[in-house]
Structure 1
Amino acid sequence: MSDDTTFPVTVHRITLPSAVAITEDVTAREEPLEIRVEGRSVAVVMRTPGHDEELVAGFLISEGVVKSPRDLLEVSQCPSTNNKYGNVVDVLLAGSAVVNWDSLTRHVFSASSCGICGKTSLESVFQKFEVLDSQLPVESIITPSLLATFPAKLRAAQPTFAQTGGLHACAVFDEHGNLLVLREDVGRHNALDKVLGWALRENLLPFSKHVLLLSGRVSFEMMQKALAAGVPVVAAISAPSSLAVQFAQDSGQTLVGFLRGETMNVYTHPQRIAGV
């Protein structure tokens, strides 16, 4: 089975000590996408095809270019390009959007594993996005038992990961544990941008009473993107980096790592987690 998100391959499957079998398999598809703003190329990202317009909208949220649906006049995909592997999405902005071209075009190419190439300081991020109020009302506190159900819900909603084992996922849950949106991609930053782009177009930002769940590790740039969307609680199945913890502390975000089974680590602002 193959679709836009997967690519068929033939593999030699080895089972120790000596068995070898030739079999068909699928890998996660990875292709370049050029992002243009007002016809001007600002980035090329390696991504899994699908939800490209959401990815671009989320990218522009993370860059501080757009803040609401009215900032986007048009987002159009251009399938006919000279690049046989990729695609182009061009964005026309409304007059309400302000573009710092020097900042926006600081990286011409971004690998699927790279999200914030070129940014060197926390201060540059806080100039764009306000920190969150860490003292939320009682009804916004989430229980550990509810958090513990999220990884299974995430995995159950990952069709391409089930085929390939090669994609990251980002999902947003409401305070009742309902899964609102999930996106997969070879790049974890792309998966999160797709989530943010979907939310922008659905006019659901900010995510002020929601939990963002990441399938992998938490880095500084993932926390920055979550802050751009106003997410108060970020949870991950894997570990956070030291800079992610520092960023979460400074930004007023609750950061949960190693969310596996019945255990989890709460690194910052534990007051949002009941009983901590």
Structure 2
Amino acid sequence: MGRVTERRRVIRIRDGAVSTRPDTLVAEEPMEIRLGGKPLAITMRTPGDDFALAAGFLVSEGVLASAAELANIVYCAGATGEGGSNTYNVVDVRLADGVPVPDITLERNVYTTSSCGLCGKASLDAVRTTAHWPLDTSPDTPVRIEPATLSALPDRLRAAQRVFERTGGLHAAALFTTDGELLDIREDVGRHNAVDKIVGRALQQGQLPLSSCVLMVSGRASFELVQKAVMAGIPVLAAVSAPSSLAVDLAVETGLTLVGFLRGTSMNVYAGEHRLALSAAASTD
């Protein structure tokens, strides 16, 4: 199986001094996801938690909603590299008996890079029609979180990024309770992959929907990350950088609490402010 990191020779220049040294890089390899033996998607990812990645991807696509719907996930023995060795870069997902296999058309057959996941109108329509757990949009919702709790999440996320410490080249997604307790963290070259690994592990452990959790991601909050949070029943998504306009639109439409630019004690709340314990004196310019 591929390694999470690899070593490469680099020429280092510091203050005019030139030296040669090994450097630790995060690994990036393609992974093909098959559903019932048929190709479905290819994603560029950091090897590791591959089965969870495939399961989480299928949750976000509305194919899976519970562990009972999943028969098994296996590496395809026929996907061989040099010398006939298994590359561990192709996985096949088998659904449980009685679970309908969606029609795999060219519209669904996708390629995702490490920098961005699924996007476009077809995915937006899929969220509207296949979300298994609509988010509670009532102002009296039991999910409430203090802004101070949110403020602590980026540092907790960063402190738990073990591979980032060695490479500086990984994104991360972490699952927290509304009290700020870290439940799980996954790292990957792509934010969307890290989220899929989080969601896939939750599905495998029978924990969906994640209706009392906060999802924290490094980097920006894109449309596909909002989609994945909604499909997993996660009510709060926080990011250290900016959201896109489509991400905000989808958050508003689905009732997701979306927080961006979460840095120190500062943050922007773009949607779902009813879940935050805000001061009644808060201004609305």
TM-score above 0.5:
yes
How far is the alpha carbon of 1:121 from its aligned partner? 6.1
Any idea what SS the aligned residue of 1:102 has? coil
Counterpart-to-counterpart distance in 2, 1:104 and 1:151: 38
8 A contact 1:107–1:117 mirrored in 2: no
| Selected match of 1:254 from 257, 261, 282 | 257
Counterpart-to-counterpart distance in 1, 2:95 and 2:141: 39
How far is the alpha carbon of 1:269 from its aligned partner? 1.5
Counterpart-to-counterpart distance in 1, 2:39 and 2:231: 23
My pick for the range that moved more, 241-250 or 106-115, is: 106-115
Any idea what SS the aligned residue of 2:33 has? strand
Letter in 2 for 1:252: G
Computed over aligned residues only, the root mean square deviation of the Cα atoms, in angstroms, reads 2.0
Any idea what SS the aligned residue of 1:230 has? coil
1:34-183 map, 5 Å: 34-78=32-76, 81-83=79-81, 87-102=89-104, 106-117=108-119, 119-120=121-122, 122-129=124-131, 131-135=134-138, 137=140, 139-183=142-186
Letter in 1 for 2:30: P
Counterpart-to-counterpart distance in 2, 1:196 and 1:243: 22
How far is the alpha carbon of 1:14 from its aligned partner? 2.1
- Deviation digits for residues 239-270 of structure 1 (CA, Å, limit 9, x no counterpart): 10111011100110010001111111111121
How far is the alpha carbon of 1:118 from its aligned partner? 5.5
Any idea what SS the aligned residue of 2:23 has? strand
8 A contact 2:40–2:104 mirrored in 1: no
Counterpart-to-counterpart distance in 2, 1:67 and 1:75: 15
Percent identity between the aligned chains?
49
Counterpart-to-counterpart distance in 2, 1:108 and 1:140: 35
How far is the alpha carbon of 1:43 from its aligned partner? 1.3
* Closer, same or farther: CA 47–256 of 1 in aligned 2, 3 Å: same
1:197-276 map, 5 Å: 197-275=200-278
Letter in 2 for 1:30: E
Counterpart-to-counterpart distance in 2, 1:169 and 1:124: 25
Give the match for residue 7 of structure 1. 6
How far is the alpha carbon of 1:117 from its aligned partner? 4.7
- Deviation digits for residues 78-102 of structure 1 (CA, Å, limit 9, x no counterpart): 3662346552111111134323223
Letter in 2 for 1:56: A
* Closer, same or farther: CA 43–139 of 1 in aligned 2, 3 Å: closer
Any idea what SS the aligned residue of 1:127 has? helix
Aligned residues: 273
Structure 1 unaligned residues grouped into runs of 5+: none
8 A contact 2:62–2:126 mirrored in 1: no
8 A contact 2:173–2:217 mirrored in 1: yes
Any idea what SS the aligned residue of 2:180 has? coil
Counterpart-to-counterpart distance in 2, 1:272 and 1:261: 20
Give the match for residue 282 of structure 2. none
The alignment's TM-score, normalised by the length of structure 1, stands at 0.92
How far is the alpha carbon of 1:77 from its aligned partner? 2.1
How far is the alpha carbon of 1:229 from its aligned partner? 0.4
Letter in 2 for 1:9: R
* Closer, same or farther: CA 146–42 of 1 in aligned 2, 3 Å: same
Any idea what SS the aligned residue of 2:260 has? strand
My pick for the range that moved more, 130-139 or 28-37, is: 130-139
Counterpart-to-counterpart distance in 2, 1:264 and 1:103: 41
How far is the alpha carbon of 1:113 from its aligned partner? 1.8
- Deviation digits for residues 187-242 of structure 1 (CA, Å, limit 9, x no counterpart): 11111110000000111111111100001101111100000001111000111011
Counterpart-to-counterpart distance in 2, 1:97 and 1:86: 26
- Deviation digits for residues 10-60 of structure 1 (CA, Å, limit 9, x no counterpart): 1122234x2322222111100111111111111111110000000000011
* Closer, same or farther: CA 201–242 of 1 in aligned 2, 3 Å: same
